[in-house]
Amino acid sequence: MSTPTVINGKEVFELLRDDLAAIEREFGRDTVSNVSAITDIGEYLREGGGKRIRPALLLLSSKLFNYRGRGAVRLGAVVEIIHTATLVHDDIIDEAQTRRGRPAANTQWGNSRCVLAGDWLYMQAFKIAVQERNFRVLDVLIELTQQMVEGELLQMEKLGRLISLDEYFDLIYRKTACLFSVCMRMGAILGGATPEQEENLGQYGRDLGMAFQIVDDVLDLTASESVLGKPVASDLREGKVTMAVIHALERCAAEEREQIETVLRDRAFNGVTHADVLGILSRYGALDAAHEKAAHYAESARKAVCTFPDSEFKRALLWAPEFVVAREK
């Protein structure tokens, strides 16, 4: 019997259910410390959920090569711990009050404890990764963490400032796409991929991550607070300029530009409403332009895996870009 050529989200989850459950258990075990504050913060963050898209990508990448070892579960936990550590630090830097519809960890335990808990999570992730005894894995993880830290510093330097599209793309690569790419590359390394196959899968992860973050930034402007789990237009309030805003600023009238700059400068909607900003973005097709760019990256991701033999894992990777672009939260 021939296999279906398409797959949906429910089928992808079923395909990875046991491994994702194993990663969740590993995550729970790996974030236990003799220091109760670390354990409490780690458990609070784990319970906050999330899509677990990063470990899912690592699993799918390794399964393309019929990998069956325990390393994919272990490294799946590693990437989710690293992602969690970045969220802790991001919330402190951004002075965030909420995360995924709950109080941010820093509002519960304070900035000092959360900084140190985030540091501990990073080190724990590397401690687990070392168990693979694979220098290639460690190389890509070290490069990843450097890129992410550099990205956060660069973003801090640019807060409240108008940036170019190239600067924006560099930031979101470091912020999001680099981790997606590393997840795919680590799965390829575990599976014994050729350099060309690893390169293709890394490109898939990069392009998928770029699409994911562009859509995330659009949703920050357009979705409701109940869907986002945080205040609407948080990026603008924090002085962050994203693609739709850059697109509009390159085309709008001087008085419209001044309205957007006022929000960025004041880090608040003082005399300028969220609806005012959305009106400007709509007039210049900024939201559509961002979606089109995300769709372009999504299509590029699909092309990066088209040469792999047909399998349910390849079909899952072909489905993911469509999910990323169409999602509403």
Q: What is the pTM of this model?
A: 0.93
pLDDT per residue as tens digits for the range 290-306 = 999 999 999 999 999 99
Residue 5 has pLDDT above 70, yes or no: no
Report the alpha-carbon distance of residue 321 to residue 157 in Å, rounded: 31
- Output the pLDDT for position 109: 96
Domains of the chain, CATH where assigned: 9-326 (1.10.600.10)
DSSP strands (E only) in the chain: 98-99, 102-103
328 or 70: whose pLDDT is higher? 70
Q: How many other β-carbons are positioned within 10 Å of the β-carbon of residue 323?
A: 17
Span 94-144, pLDDT tens digits: 888 888 789 999 999 999 999 999 999 999 999 999 999 999 999 999 999
Q: Tell me the one-letter amino acid at 302.
A: R
Phi and psi dihedrals of 90, rounded to 5?
-60, -45
Angle CA 37–175–212, to nearest 5: 110
Q: Is the model's pLDDT at 4 over the cut of 70?
A: no
DSSP structural state of residue 102:
E
What pLDDT score does 308 carry?
97
